């Protein structure tokens, strides 16, 4: 019984140490994580796009300060170049 206990302790210790060493070796030989800023030359960093300011809506105001809707004439649309998919028609019922 004593011999069995000793054998088990020895086996667990041995496998633990072996596993630790294998893990250490694998990590030591693994490729290092690249630090983006340091790894790339500064000239290759793409500049962030600059967003254009939003166009103000062209509403006119009446005397009371209430926005007044203005009409603009638009041309009936040409045939659409969207990819073929579900189109909904609206025309009243």
Partner 1 sequence: MQTLEFRVMSTNALIAAEGHDWATYGLRETRAYIEASERRFSRFLPDSELSQLNRAAGTWFTVSNDLMDMLEQSLDFYKETSGLFDPSVLPDLKRLGYDKSMDEIRTQGKVVNAPASARTLRQAQGGAPRPAFNEISLDLAGRRVHLPSGMEIDLGGIAKGWIVEKAAELLSTYAAVCAVSVGGDMVFKGYPMDGSDWRVNIEDPRDPTQTAAALHVGPGAVVTSSIAKRSWNQGGQSRHHLIDPRTGEPAQTDWLSVTVVAPQITTAEVYAKAWLIGGEEQAARLAAQRPEIAYFVIKSDGTLLGSQNSKEYLNDLSYI
Q: How far is the CB of 78 from partner 1 (least distance, A)?
A: 4
Least spacing, CB of residue 9 vs partner 1, in Å: 57
Q: Are 27 and 19 in contact (CB under 8 A)?
A: no
Q: Is 52 in the site for partner 1 (CB under 8 A)?
A: no
Q: Is 68 one of the binding residues for partner 1 (CB under 8 A)?
A: yes
Q: Apex CA 77: angle with CA 61 and CA 67, to 5°?
A: 10
Q: Is 91 in the site for partner 1 (CB under 8 A)?
A: yes
| Residue 75 interacting with partner 1 (CB under 8 A) | yes
In this structure, what token pair is assigned to residue 16? 């633990």
For residue 59, give the nearest of 69, 48, 74 by alpha carbon.
69
- The yes or no reply on residue 16 touching partner 1 (CB under 8 A) is no
């Amino acid at each position: 019984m004593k011999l069995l206990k000793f054998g088990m302790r020895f086996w667990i210790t041995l496998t633990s140490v072996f596993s630790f060493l294998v893990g250490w070796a694998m990590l030591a030989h693994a490729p290092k994580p690249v630090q983006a800023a340091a790894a790339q030359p500064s000239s290759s960093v793409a500049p962030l796009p600059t967003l254009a300011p939003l166009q103000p809506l062209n509403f006119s105001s009446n005397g009371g300060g209430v926005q007044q809707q203005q009409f603009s004439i638009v041309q009936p649309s040409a045939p659409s170049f969207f990819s073929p998919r579900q189109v909904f028609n609206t025309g009243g019922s």
